[in-house]
Amino acid sequence: MERQRERIDVRPNPETTARIGKARSAIKIRSRAVVELRCQMSYTSSEKVSGPARRKLPFLRDNTILQVRDLRVYYHTPLGAVRAVDGVSFDLRVGERLGLVGESGSGKSTVAMAIMRLIKPPGRIEGGQAFFDGVDLLALPEKEMRALRLAAIALVAQGAMNSLNPVTRVRDQFADALRDHGEILTRAELEARIRDLLANVGLRPEVAQKYPHELSGGMKQRVVIAIAICLRAKVIIADEPTSALDVVVQRQVIETLRRAQEKIGASIMLVGHDMGLMAQVVDRLGVMYAGRLVEVCGVDEIFRGPLHPYSQLLIASLPTLDHRGTFQGIPGLTPSLMDRPRGCSFHPRCPLAMDRCAAEAPAMREVRPGHFVACHLYESAAPELAMQTAIGG
Amino acid sequence: MSALLEARAVTKFFGGGLRGRRMTAVENFSLTIASDPPSIIALVGESGSGKTTLARLFLGLVEPSEGLVLYRGANISTLSAADRQAFRRDVQVIFQDPFEAYNPFYRVDHVLETPVLNFGIAASRAEARRMIAETLRAVGLRPEETLGRYPHQLSGGQRQRIMVARALLIRPRIIIADEPVSMVDASLRATILGNLRQLHEEFGISLIYITHDLTTAYQISQNIIVLYRGMIAEAGDAEHVVRDPKHPYTQLLIGSIPYPDPHRHWKGEAAPSAEGALSSDHGCRFASRCPSAMAVCRDSVPPMFRTGAHRGSACYLYRDGEVVPAADLGAVLVQGDGAV
């Protein structure tokens, strides 16, 4: 800690210092440590910083904002541990939209919640790292994590329309968020800021005076997006942001999210189950099955040439408006996460399973540039990825 | 062709006491489901379109405010005991939420055994067990892994398939499926829709498929009826309604479906939102959102105009076409078993 403090004195950044000043006067509880953390984050070149929080990462790339490595989250039940997320690694690049798709129980929402550090008992993060701009979020004290939420990583939660406070006007929800993160504004500044944020999501300024129940589902979701971008977060995690909305409104909300993200230059991690939505929105897609990523690649490639048998069957099972009358589901059931099959979790349902699949879990391999797949079928195509290697091409 | 289930000029509104605002969920809806040949018809609409109210009207769970729902020509709210028993056997339902359809204190066997015994479908318990096992296999479940378990021990997809099995076990004439796959994962969705289609093909069961999802409606049904705020916007042959939508609302719906193809982007601009666009009670309900609304649209409700041999659209853009009376919706639907 001593060392870090010195570092700040050596290299003060005027803008950051100003922000820190505001933050300090705003909340008394804000610790020195948080302030230091913010200082570190404002450094742009990674080599200037060394020390415990900004570890030298062999796989760090300049265009990566979030790196998740070997993330494990288990839910501890009386019957045993449910391995909801069991060794997930991926990168989120600056300004990119990454999709995380999977069926219910695949662990996709748990990944999102673990990055936000919002896993509640009986769930527990058992291992792994999530480096945000070089800082391991999973190792941060809660107080520091709290300062980063919304300011650096914002969450648009599942059913987010219910995440607004029902007894507070929309404007006050903005005011709370800004004040909590040390933005001290005059009344006029605040009103202008809110008007601006609402305009960004295509809502009229009058919405600020309304209570959540006076708004439709789509409007509420857009208010939530406006709050998510109010501090220009670098990463927006959107967990099924439109699952409760009608298809017409879904499109409006998703396009709002995309515009807002492009405007502030954030990265998006979009968690969901709808492959159609993913195709329309994301740049790269990770497919999860039973708590693990089975394939990560560009969205074009996954739809044109999925490699993992699960991805292949999943894409073939999508009903389209192109041809009718063919129903191809995936036979079998998703495995219990308490008693996962040995080897590859998908082998009991896989039409191409070999003896080996039942014995040995396949590792993630980069079989083509930027195309990662965890399947024994592609063994010869590429050497195994070390856990440290960036999954992100 | 005899009418098995028929809605005759049904209107249902909620509220509207002394001061309350009356909310019309379904307005002047007529539809006839014939027992022979069996058909699959999809009622498609967003939330608030009245589709679930229609399902409940057909099931006799709510009574129409105006109009009649008839089962074999008799009003279902005044059926005799014997007819009611037959009605309850002939008309089965699959609800959206496979979690709430079960009593958590009973093993899943209960929901399968009860109707078999109540309707006297099996002569003995042993025969009932055999029939249940057979039916479970028909929907792709392994009886030994399913029976004897409690609902919480099964996945949502398994539970929903047990509901399909239950509907099949009773050998009804009609299954009303209200969003049967909206809470089921993509990989199982196709399987369950396949099961429903199989029931239709093998056992001649008619299906009223109620959904918000035009894609699955297109996959499974011969005819599609698109609902908007309690009224029919467009109706007709699924192929035509989806390929070449006539009503501006259907066009908006189809344009908003996210295609599972990154090279096929959403067309055009996101439509003006429904927010604040209060539908008037006078004109077309869609007029306030409609890009091609005309003066006439705000003044009177458009009747259904024929836009093709097997389709009609309730939109003044097509007022040159012949008017299809609301009571005669069948005139624009494909009749008979036009196998998909």
Concatenated DSSP letters for B50-61? SHHHHHHHHHTS
Q: How far is CA B83 from the centre of its chain?
A: 23
**Residues B194, B53: Cα–Cα separation, whole Å:** 25
Q: How far is A205 from chain B (nearest CA, A)?
A: 14
Query: Which of the two residues, B1 and B244, has the higher pLDDT score?
Result: B244
Helix (H, G, I), strand (E, B) or coil at A9: helix
What percent of chain B clears pLDDT 90, i.e. is strictly above it? 24
Q: Which domains does chain A have, with CATH numbers?
A: 2-48 (no CATH), 57-393 (3.40.50.300)
**Residues B222, B218: Cα–Cα separation, whole Å:** 8
Mutation to test the B interface, candidates A252, A256, A274, A302, most B Cβ within 10 Å: A252
**Residues A87, A81: Cα–Cα separation, whole Å:** 15
Q: What is the pLDDT of residue B10?
A: 92
Q: Out of B186, B192, B270, whose CB is closest to A252?
A: B270
CB A31 within 8 A of CB A143: yes
What lies within 8 Å, CB to CB, of A80 at 6+ separation is A338, A339
Nearest CA in chain B to A244: B47
Structure tokens that stand for A4 in this block: 């870090």
Would you tell me which residues 78-107 of chain A have a C-beta closer than 8 angstroms to some C-beta of chain B? 103-105
- Is the Cβ of A348 closer than 8 Å to some Cβ of chain B? no
Residue of B87, B148, B136, B332 lying closest to B234 (CA atoms): B332
**Cα A61–Cα A62–Cα A64 angle in degrees, nearest 5:** 70
What's the order of all strands across the beta sheet hosting B206-211? Answer: B91-94, B174-178, B206-211, B40-44, B223-228, B231-237, B311-313, B304-308, B323-324
In this structure, what DSSP letter does residue B170 have?
A: T
- Is the Cβ of A303 closer than 8 Å to some Cβ of chain B? yes
Nearest CA in chain B to A202: B273
Task: Please list the residues that pair with B33 across neighbouring strands.
Answer: B5
Question: Which phi and psi angles does B22 have, rounded to 5°?
Answer: -80, 135
Q: What is the pLDDT along chain A (393 residues), one digit of tens a residue?
A: 444 444 434 444 555 445 545 544 444 434 444 434 443 333 333 333 333 333 334 444 568 899 999 999 999 988 888 899 999 999 999 999 999 998 888 889 899 999 999 998 889 999 999 999 888 999 999 999 999 999 899 999 877 667 888 999 999 999 999 998 888 888 999 999 999 999 888 888 999 999 998 888 888 888 999 999 999 899 999 998 887 788 888 888 888 889 889 988 999 999 988 888 999 999 999 999 999 999 999 999 999 989 999 999 988 888 888 777 677 778 877 787 888 888 999 999 899 988 999 999 998 988 888 899 999 998 876 666 544 444 544
- All residues of chain B having their beta carbon less than 8 Å from the beta carbon of residue A308 are none
**Residues B322, B306: Cα–Cα separation, whole Å:** 5
Q: How confident is the prediction for chain B on average, in pLDDT? A: 85
CB contact under 8 A, A313 and B187: yes
CB contact under 8 A, B252 and A248: yes
DSSP E strand boundaries for A78-216 = 80-93, 97-101, 123-132, 135-136, 153-156
Residue of A357, A251, A380 lying closest to B271 (CA atoms): A251
Task: Please list the residues that pair with A130 across neighbouring strands.
Answer: A68
Would you tell me which residues 104-133 of chain A have a C-beta closer than 8 angstroms to some C-beta of chain B? 104-105
Helix axes A170-180, A217-228, angle to 10 degrees: 20
What lies within 8 Å, CB to CB, of A257 at 6+ separation is A156, A225, A236, A238, A241, A268
Structure tokens that stand for A356 in this block: 């080996």
**Residues B3, B71: Cα–Cα separation, whole Å:** 8
Q: How far is A188 from chain B (nearest CA, A)?
A: 27
Nearest CA in chain B to A216: B275
Task: Please list the residues that pair with A194 across neighbouring strands.
Answer: none
CB contact under 8 A, A255 and B270: yes
Q: pTM for the whole thing?
A: 0.80
- All residues of chain A having their beta carbon less than 8 Å from the beta carbon of residue B187 are 103, 313-314, 317, 329-330
First-residue to last-residue Cα distance in chain B: 21
CB B305 within 8 A of CB B228: no
Structure tokens that stand for B150 in this block: 């409690």
**Residues B321, B335: Cα–Cα separation, whole Å:** 21
Query: Which of the two residues, B306 and B137, has the higher pLDDT score?
Result: B306
Mutation to test the B interface, candidates A324, A326, A330, A336, most B Cβ within 10 Å: A324
**Residues A89, B57: Cα–Cα separation, whole Å:** 51
Predicted confidence band of residue B271 (pLDDT cuts 50, 70, 90): low
Largest Cα span, chain B: 68
- Is the Cβ of A67 closer than 8 Å to some Cβ of chain B? no
Q: Out of B186, B212, B242, whose CB is closest to A318?
A: B186
Q: How far is B51 from chain A (nearest CA, A)?
A: 14
Q: What is the pLDDT of residue A45?
A: 33
B316 has pLDDT over 50: yes
CB B226 within 8 A of CB B247: yes
Three-state secondary structure along B84-131?
Answer: HHHHHHHEEEECCCCCCCCCCCCCCHHHHHHHHHHCCCCCCHHHHHHH
Query: Which of the two residues, B279 and A168, has the higher pLDDT score?
Result: A168
- All residues of chain A having their beta carbon less than 8 Å from the beta carbon of residue B259 are 276, 279-280, 320-321
- All residues of chain B having their beta carbon less than 8 Å from the beta carbon of residue A315 are 260
The continuous run of DSSP H or E covering A236 comes out as strand A235-239
Per the listing, tokens 């600020």 go with A208
Average pLDDT over residues B27-51: 88
Per the listing, tokens 């409006």 go with A252
CB contact under 8 A, A324 and B219: yes
Task: Please list the residues that pair with B12 across neighbouring strands.
Answer: B26
**Residues A209, A222: Cα–Cα separation, whole Å:** 15
Residue of B223, B147, B225, B216 lying closest to B180 (CA atoms): B216
Average pLDDT over residues B155-160: 81
B93 has pLDDT over 80: yes
- Is the Cβ of A276 closer than 8 Å to some Cβ of chain B? yes
